[in-house]
Amino acid sequence: MLRLQTFGGCSLERDGVRMDTASAYRKGLALLAVLAAAGERGVSRDAVLALLWPDSDEERARTSLRQLVHLLRNQLQSPDLIPSSPELRLNPQVISSDVADFRAALAADDLAAAVELYRGHFLDGFYIRGADELERWTATERAALKSDAARALETLAQRTESAGDMRTAVAWWRRLTEHDPISASGALGLMRCLDAVGERAAALRHARVYELLVQSELGEATDDVVSAFADRLRSSPQPAIADVPAIADVPAIADVPATAGVVTRRRRRLRMAAAAALVVAFVVVAAVAVVSRPRAATSTFIAVLPLANISGDADNDIISDGLTENLITSLSTIPDVRVIGRTSVSRFRERTLDLRAIADSLGVSAVLDGSVQRSGEQLKIGVQLVSAADGTVMWAETYDRRMSDFFAIQDEITRAIIDALRLRVGSAASTPDTLRDVLAYELYLRGRHIFMTRTDRDGTDHARQYFEAALERDSLLAYAHAGLSDVYTRLAIFAHMPAREGFAHAKDHARRALALDSTLAEAYVALGHALCVADFDWDASDRVFERALTLNPSYSFGRMPYAVCLMSRGRFRDAERHLLHARTTDPFSPAPSNLLGRLYVYTQQPDLAIENLRQALELSPQMDLAWQQLGHARLQKGMAAEAIDAFERAAALSGPRDSLHLAYALAVTGRADDARRIVAELTTAGRTANMAFHFALAWTGLGDSDQAFTWLERGLDEQGSFIGSAAVDPALTPLRADPRWPMLLRRMGLE
């Protein structure tokens, strides 16, 4: 059975296995997506021609359509994929789609199933150059589906609250506010339920976030009902659900007129970007300030905001993004400069706050802002460096260059910033000689952006395609080899390909990158990660990671795999130091808080673990590993029911891996039969590849040490890395008195 995935991208699977060849054929995917969205009613051929071949004459376009349908049928070995009929439609006996299932679930009032299918915006990141009509159609469909998902979330929240299950209602209202941050009904519902479960401070904090968001984006006062309820919370000594506005008194999303803030899709996107920035600023930055260590007085902390593309052509976003990325990288190599990571600054792509407010949120002393305009081969770049203290412009310049000067401009701007800040530095990093093909580098940047923002299988595969395309154009591009190394390590770790094969590719590409550019921090990090998790070569990985961080101390992503490797050996203080540094440098990334939560689980400090994992989930509610570790932290606190809930959420997101953690939790909380059923189902279904540690964990919970050691030894024999945390994970404590334990550690290079 074929399966088309359209939420969060566009890809094709057969029996759960991604079809990379088919997924790379974009116009074929576009046709399938159009037909999937149309459902049973189908689409006329004329409509398809207008979407996919708008500039071709009718005869040529019809020929192209016939050839495309023929190609899809043959390539997918499904002659009945698109039946012959006046209207084009997909055969539901041959192919299913998430968008069709989403709409069917809504029609059946199975709203929970519908919102779980909505795992990202419709065809997010999918485009075909020159197909403007397709882009407009996609935007319309995306907006309608997004609105449907919002209505479903609001209805689920209302129903759950009416049933008296306030904690579950909090979760649904929170998801709605993440989906539509300026929804008055969402804000009120979340505040009301937070107060009902004893979290009044969180309710008032959300009121403040909502107030600032509405004022900064819409220039309007907060909705009266939200302000009134916030005032009541501040003055009331006790929560009183009966006194708050009833659900029926709050207008549903469907009832809000178009003029009430939702004027255009463009404006809505601006609000969403602003919401992400403001919510994160209030939830995370305060926590970061508490745990961060003081910076040296001589250090300068700056943020390079995403340079605005003012060319009028979205395809030129990659030019502005590329310049932003390289300025961050170049400035990060300077000893006296600390630079905010790209994850954090990317949340301020839309300038809904002034520069001083952004600087204050990020905790920096200066902000670099600017714009890029491209016209053919001409490039005009305007940049300014603004002081956070008083908003004065410390330095500004405009550059008129040709595209062939793209990389040289970066060096020129970097040197100018250093002069403006009057820094005492030896020499600024310059662009390596290997960066001379702008298009190849554009492809690399697209891949790196996807790799950093989408950690799921589709996102990782999509990143790989861009890195490979970059190397097809320029086989000497060291950055792309480093990117592929990261991709293969992730694919191996998360069981998306045979582990040994994945790690072999990872080490090969990292070493190729270093052969091309021995100063590339990204390549050292990629190699260090693979040496640690695949080979247990602890000393070598230490040397490689330290070299990376010497070259680029602000490369926050590099500190995270290093911290994982340090944790595996029980070097918790060193790991904590790197993770706190990473969170300071990139405060809006959920990854450092997630890994800090894992560290505190390993050191059996569940309160600290829960605090950090909640911060990670505020930033990324769909982060399955954070839910998994939250389950373990709750088990350490004796919160059995809450732990099971967290593990079930993780399993719903990641499948077999976290299902085994759920089995462990069920076993240690007295539900051994349910745990055995999960283990048996996964074993029978053959879902065991790269899962050695997780099976060992489940069997440990069931009290079967023989099975647990069998799986751990299998991990060493077949997969290598997947028992890396066994030495420190407290869940495996029952195994440590066994005489087989020290032998296992010796095989891992841990005496």
Pair 49, 141 in one domain: yes
Q: How far is Cα 694 from Cα 673, in angstroms, rounded to an integer?
A: 18
Output the furthest CA–CA distance in the chain (Å, rounded): 77
Residue 577: Cβ-neighbour burial (10 angstroms; 0-12, 13-18, 19+): middle
Question: What does the chain come to in residues?
Answer: 751
CATH code (residue 308): 3.40.50.10070
Low-confidence winner among 74-78, 289-293, 343-347 (lowest mean pLDDT):
289-293
Render pLDDT for 238-290 as a digit per residue (tens, 0 to 9). Answer: 544 334 343 333 333 333 333 223 223 333 333 333 333 333 333 333 333 32
| pLDDT on residue 261 | 30
Low-confidence winner among 38-47, 267-276, 503-512 (lowest mean pLDDT):
267-276
What percentage of the chain carries pLDDT values higher than 70?
80
β-partners of residue 12 are: 4
Q: How far is Cα 189 from Cα 223, in angstroms, rounded to an integer?
A: 13
Q: How far is Cα 745 from Cα 726, in angstroms, rounded to an integer?
A: 9
DSSP one-letter string for 273-320:
HHHHHHHHIIIIIHHHHHHSPPPPTT-EEEEEPPPEE-SS-GGGHHHH
How many structural domains compose the chain?
Answer: 6
Pair 23, 133 in one domain: yes
pLDDT band for 431, please (50, 70, 90 cuts): very low
Task: Classify each residue of 623-662 as buried b or exposed e, where b means 16 or more C-beta atoms within 10 Å of its C-beta.
Answer: bbbbbbbbbbbbbbeebbebbbbbbbbbbebbebbbbbbb
Cα four-point dihedral sign 576, 580, 585, 589: positive
CB 312 within 8 A of CB 643: no
| pLDDT on residue 661 | 95
Pair 208, 170 in one domain: yes
CB atoms within 10 A of CB 392: 9
Q: Is the pLDDT of residue 418 over 50?
A: yes
Render pLDDT for 435-451 as a digit per residue (tens, 0 to 9). Answer: 556 667 778 877 887 88
| pLDDT on residue 257 | 30
Cβ-proximal residues to 20 (8 Å cutoff; 6+ apart), any chain: 461
Cβ-proximal residues to 324 (8 Å cutoff; 6+ apart), any chain: 304, 305, 306, 307, 342, 345
| Domain contains 159 | no
Q: Please indicate whether residue 376 or residue 107 has the higher confidence score (pLDDT).
A: 107
**∠632-636-640 over CA atoms, to 5°?**
75
Cα four-point dihedral sign 402, 406, 411, 417: positive
pLDDT band for 223, please (50, 70, 90 cuts): low
Q: Is the pLDDT of residue 234 over 60?
A: yes
pLDDT band for 655, please (50, 70, 90 cuts): confident
Cα four-point dihedral sign 700, 702, 705, 709: negative
Q: Is the pLDDT of residue 351 over 80?
A: no
Q: How far is Cα 627 from Cα 144, in angstroms, rounded to an integer?
A: 30
| Domain contains 152 | no
| Domain contains 114 | yes
Residue 611 carries which side chain, given as an amino acid letter?
A: E
Which candidate, 202, 354, 341, places its Cα nearest to that of 283? 202
| pLDDT on residue 428 | 43
Pair 121, 169 in one domain: no
Q: Is the pLDDT of residue 458 over 60?
A: yes
Pair 53, 106 in one domain: yes
| Alpha helix segments (H runs only) across 341-477 | 342-345, 355-362, 406-421, 438-453, 457-473
Q: Is the pLDDT of residue 168 over 70?
A: yes
pLDDT band for 340, please (50, 70, 90 cuts): confident
Domain end among 431, 460, 481: 431
Q: Is the pLDDT of residue 135 over 90?
A: no
Q: What distances in angstroms separate CA 321 from CA 340, 414, 436, one per listed residue?
A: 15, 16, 17
Q: Which two tokens stand for residue 627?
A: 């839910």
| pLDDT on residue 283 | 32
Q: How far is Cα 498 from Cα 552, in angstroms, rounded to an integer?
A: 32
Residue 141 carries which side chain, given as an amino acid letter?
A: E
| Domain contains 150 | no
Q: How far is Cα 192 from Cα 170, in angstroms, rounded to an integer?
A: 9
Q: How far is Cα 665 from Cα 631, in angstroms, rounded to an integer?
A: 8
| pLDDT on residue 130 | 67
Which candidate, 747, 719, 725, places its Cα nearest to that of 565? 725
Pair 313, 416 in one domain: yes
Q: How far is Cα 369 from Cα 475, in angstroms, rounded to an integer?
A: 33
Residue 530 carries which side chain, given as an amino acid letter?
A: A
Pair 674, 624 in one domain: no
Which candidate, 238, 252, 228, 234, places its Cα nearest to that of 196? 238
Q: Which two tokens stand for residue 161?
A: 């609250």
| pLDDT on residue 747 | 87
Whether the model clears a pTM of 0.75, i.e. scores above it, the answer is no
Phi and psi at 301, nearest 5°, equal: -110, 115
Low-confidence winner among 281-295, 308-322, 496-510, 630-644 (lowest mean pLDDT):
281-295
Q: Which two tokens stand for residue 242?
A: 């009966």
Q: Please indicate whether residue 359 or residue 288 has the higher confidence score (pLDDT).
A: 359
Q: Is the pLDDT of residue 196 over 50?
A: yes
Instruction: Note down the domain range covering 212.
Output: 164-243+265-294
Cβ-proximal residues to 152 (8 Å cutoff; 6+ apart), any chain: 106, 111, 114, 115
CB 553 within 8 A of CB 296: no
Domain end among 112, 145, 178: 145
Q: How far is Cα 67 from Cα 62, in angstroms, rounded to an integer?
A: 9
CB 349 within 8 A of CB 410: no
For range 138-157, the mean pLDDT: 92
Render pLDDT for 727-738 as a digit per residue (tens, 0 to 9). Answer: 899 999 999 999
| Domain contains 218 | yes
Pair 501, 607 in one domain: no
Strand order in the sheet with 2-5: 17-18, 11-14, 2-5, 95-97
Render pLDDT for 286-336 as a digit per residue (tens, 0 to 9). Answer: 333 323 333 333 457 888 888 888 877 776 776 777 778 777 876 776 666
| pLDDT on residue 228 | 86
Query: Which secondary structure element, helix H or strand E, spans residue 160, and what is its range?
Result: helix 132-162
Q: Please indicate whether residue 487 or residue 9 has the higher confidence score (pLDDT).
A: 487
CB 334 within 8 A of CB 423: yes
Pair 618, 722 in one domain: no
Pair 676, 631 in one domain: no
β-partners of residue 374 are: 379
For range 675-698, the mean pLDDT: 88
According to the 3-state scheme, what is the secondary structure of 465-478? Answer: HHHHHHHHHCCCCH
Domain end among 79, 113, 145: 145
Q: Is the pLDDT of residue 231 over 90?
A: no
Low-confidence winner among 136-145, 639-648, 696-705 (lowest mean pLDDT):
136-145
Q: How far is Cα 591 from Cα 324, in angstroms, rounded to an integer?
A: 22
| Domain contains 609 | yes
Residue 401 carries which side chain, given as an amino acid letter?
A: R
Q: Please indicate whether residue 639 or residue 220 has the higher confidence score (pLDDT).
A: 639
| pLDDT on residue 740 | 93
Q: Is the pLDDT of residue 635 over 70?
A: yes
Low-confidence winner among 27-41, 195-209, 228-242, 625-639 (lowest mean pLDDT):
228-242
Cβ-proximal residues to 204 (8 Å cutoff; 6+ apart), any chain: 191, 230, 233, 234
Q: Is the pLDDT of residue 482 over 80?
A: yes
Average pLDDT, the chain: 80
For range 387-411, the mean pLDDT: 75
CATH code (residue 469): 1.25.40.10
CB 579 within 8 A of CB 563: yes
Q: What distances in angstroms separate CA 462 from CA 90, 346, 512, one per listed residue?
A: 25, 20, 21
Q: How far is Cα 460 from Cα 494, in angstroms, rounded to an integer?
A: 11
CB 310 within 8 A of CB 371: yes
Q: How far is C-alpha 83 from the geometric centre of its chain's CA atoms?
A: 38
Pair 274, 322 in one domain: no
Q: How far is Cα 189 from Cα 167, in angstroms, rounded to an integer?
A: 12
| pLDDT on residue 216 | 53
How far apart, in Å, do the first and last CA atoms of the chain sit? 49
pLDDT band for 414, please (50, 70, 90 cuts): low
| pLDDT on residue 276 | 39
Query: Which secondary structure element, helix H or strand E, spans residue 145, and what is its range?
Result: helix 132-162
| Domain contains 414 | yes
For range 405-434, the mean pLDDT: 56
| Domain contains 158 | no
CB 504 within 8 A of CB 484: no
Pair 389, 301 in one domain: yes
Q: Is the pLDDT of residue 604 over 90?
A: yes
Q: How far is Cα 326 from Cα 300, in angstroms, rounded to an integer?
A: 18
